[in-house]
Structure formats: structure tokens, C-alpha cells
Structure 1
Amino acid sequence: MPKVKTSKEEVLKKVIPILRERGISKSSMSELAKACEIQKSHFYYYFNNKEQLIKEVLATVNSYFRHNLFKVIENGNLTIEQKLKKIHELIDKMFKNAHSGCIMANTALETAHLDPIYKDEIKYFFEDFISGLQVLLEPNYSKQESLALAEQMVQDLEGGILLMRIYNDHKYINNAVSRMEKIIMKL
């Protein structure tokens, strides 16, 4: 195996798609190192153990999603229609892979009953997703209604991602996004 100089960020970038598709339990540190073309010991230079690696992966995904979601939501130069289009593109980029879906939901399903070690990172992701959608809803709904609707939308989207993976059909997530857009636009 060639020794390649790589940064922590590059390692995370290479590991995320593998963990998203294979899951935590089916991804050994040796396999991840091989996929990154680095020595296994190189992981331990950046991460004390696999749990720390997974926590950083989840934090990185959340940071990326939160940054891009709120960059769109807080852009005063975009119409609501333009914001929804950009959010749709972000959802497609993040979740529309029938072989992998949502790394947060995948990790929650895989680990919640075993060890709640990743629970906080997963909760932060969903809380950010809900609060972002809530901001878009508040012009047309009360604070309480917008929170309930945002929670419903995230549940619907995650269900759409799950069904997309099971049936290998994007219509499920597309339908969830369409319902989200109609509620936000109050159609």
C-alpha cells in the first residue's frame, strides 16, 4: 500500500461515502485505511479510535449540511421559490443515492439500540434540519405550527429516503420534497 500524505479533512471526505453505504459495523479501520490509500496507523494519528472517527464523520456531515442549508435560507436575495429549488438540490446531493441514503438515519438505526454514543451528533443534524425548515415556514404559520410542520417534513423526507433505498426508486424522496414545497408555499 502506498504511503500517501493526506490531511484529516481528506480522510474524512473519503471515509464518509464508504460509511454512508456500508455502515459502521461493516466498515473496519483496515478497510477504511485501504480505501483512503493510507496505513491503518494513519487513522490513529488523527483519531484515537473508530468511535472518534465516526463522531467526526457525523459532525462533518452535519456541519456541511447546516452550512449549506442556512446559506440558502438566510440569503435575502433569493425568492422562496429559488430557496426551495436550492434546498431541493441540497437534498438530492445529500440523500439521493439509492445505495446509501442518509448517513445520520443509517447510523441511528444501526447504533441506537446498542450504544447511544453517536446520538448527540445525530440529534444536532435533525434539530438543524427542522429549525431550517421552520424558518421557511414562519412567514405563513405560527411558531408552534411551523415547528410541527418542520418536524413532519423531516420525518416524511427520512421515510422517503428509506423507501427510496428499499425500492431503488427516487419517486419516494421526490414526493416528500414536493409535499414539503407545497406546505412551505402554502399551496
Structure 2
Amino acid sequence: MGSRPGRQPRGVDRADRAREGTAPGRAGCAPRRNRDRPRRAHHGSGLFRRRGSAAARSRNHLPRPPPQPRLSTLVGRARVAVVSPQWDEPYGLVAAEAMACGTPVAALARGALPELVRPDTGALARTEDPEGLAAAMHEASKADRSTVRHHAVSSLSLDRMVSEYETLYESARFLDRAAG
């Protein structure tokens, strides 16, 4: 989930609005330009930013992501990676990276995810089915982590992709020679 500089990732923003009861039409929300800009107050002779409570700060600003090795450890320790895309993703990199860490995946069946997540590596739920996703999470937690990792290495790795591209290239060269 890519983030925009100085703003929350889109999905987090949507989730906050849904929780506050102001989605999707944004009725009752402050205009975006005011929501994203810190409020300022004059205090004495200087200009200070209003900080608000710790709860308000944590709700409005996400912490920095952990360094890559730490992130891999955290993902690898998770019982299940839940992938709930809001659009048809062409690949599903989050699911592939989670499986590379040996973490089973529970996902909505959108985009390429049905091609990546097999019954022995996780579980899929129908799109827009929260109860189904909850059941998929429970089902995915039963997957054998070594099987999940093996699937990622053998089917989703860069080495496998390059090998298949080389095979395709060689077959195209062979057909070109035979035709010409």
C-alpha cells in the first residue's frame, strides 16, 4: 500500500471515514486541505503546532514502517496475512511476500490473488464478504508454514519468473529460425 507524502495511505483514510460514519460522500468531513494540514496556534511570542492527545496523534499519523529485516520478521511471525484489496491487483505482491516469509494468506478473491493463493497456502473469500474473510482467516491459519514457503519459492520467486522468460524467449527464437 503506497503512501502519499505527508498523508495516510488511501485505505487507512477510507477506514477512518467509515469508522466515523462519514464515508463515502465525506458529509461532515473537514475539507481535505484543512484535515491534512496541522493546526497552528499563537502562544506567547512564538508559533507552535497544536499537538492534541496521543490518541488523536496516533489516529491521524501512522508510524514509520520498520526496517526491512524487522518487517520480514514481523510478517513471518504473523499467524495469517490478511489481504483485502479494494481494486483488482494485477499481481498481489503483498500476498507473495507474506508467503515468502512462510505466512499463510487470507484474501479477497480479486485480481490475481486467486492465481497466487492455493488451498494449501491460504484461503480466499468472495469480494465484499467480511464474514467470508473472517472464515478464510481461520482456515488459512491451519496451513503448514513450510508448504506456504515452498510454494512461494517454487512458484512466485524471481528465479522462476526469469527461467520462464528465458524459456519463452528461446522458443520464440526457435520459431523465428524455423520460419525464416
Do the two structures share a fold, i.e. TM-score over 0.5? no
Q: Which has the higher strand share?
A: 2
TM-score where L is the length of structure 2 = 0.35
Q: Which has the higher contact order (CA 8 A, sep 6+)?
A: 1
Structure with max Cα Rg: 2
Give the TM-score, by structure 1 length. 0.34
